[in-house]
Amino acid sequence: MHNSYNSPMKIKIAIDNDDTLLDFNEAVRLFHNKNYGTNYESQDVITFDLERVWNCDSVEAYRRIDEFWHSDYFENMQPLPGAFEALNKLKTKYELYVLTARPEEVVIETKLAIKKHFPDLFKDVHFAPAFGPGIRKTKVEVCKELGIEIIIDDGMHNLELCAKEGIKSYLFNAPWNEQYDKVELSKSGIIRINNWQEIMRELL
């Protein structure tokens, strides 16, 4: 995953994968509606706890996600609008890393997808699995190990911890984080951004 630049002077940015780089929510929505007879929309996902969205228990929700990992919907997941163009400009100024909570079972597929959709943009891909088997590690722990100074993520729980450690934190807007208002974000030292164009305006 290494690319041509390797300047130690560049500020390091960690960027979440699902729903920040790639449109995980849309791919899972299409998969679930097709295979389980639901008709939910993207805006219906107001929590990371998909069992609440799908009205099932956590074991069943994980089984369905595991089924999704092995489906064409996962393989054909698409980048969010403007992500490649923005990152292509950001790489001239920053050293870019993917930091994802995906489980170990999809490490290879995840790296292949990043290589396919974002060739030569990232220094490396790092994992901090939030579920599934394997070693648990938080994103803030990985950021501290790598010397990350900026993080872009759609999970408020990740950014709150990072902001407390002095890592500049950007919340990528999504239905499941819209309940946090400007005052609450400001107190946490977190900046909301709505799309990749706004990220460029903030960081370039």
Q: What is the pTM of this model?
A: 0.92
Q: What is the pLDDT of residue 160?
A: 96
Q: What is the pLDDT of residue 132?
A: 64
The tens digit of pLDDT for each residue in 144-181 reads 999 999 999 999 999 999 999 999 999 999 999 999 99
Please name the helix (run of DSSP H) or strand (run of DSSP E) that holds residue 108, with its range, or none: helix 107-117
Question: Which region, left, alpha or beta, applies to residue 166 given φ > 0 means left and ψ of -120 to 50 means alpha?
Answer: left
Q: Which are the contacts of 52, defined by CB distance < 8 A and separation ≥ 6?
A: none
Beta strand ranges found along the chain (DSSP E) = 11-15, 94-100, 124-127, 150-153, 168-172, 190-193
Contacts 24+ apart (CB under 8 A), 35-38: 35/67, 36/64
The tens digit of pLDDT for each residue in 9-42 reads 899 999 999 999 999 999 999 999 999 999 999 9
Cα–chain-centroid distance for residue 176?
A: 13
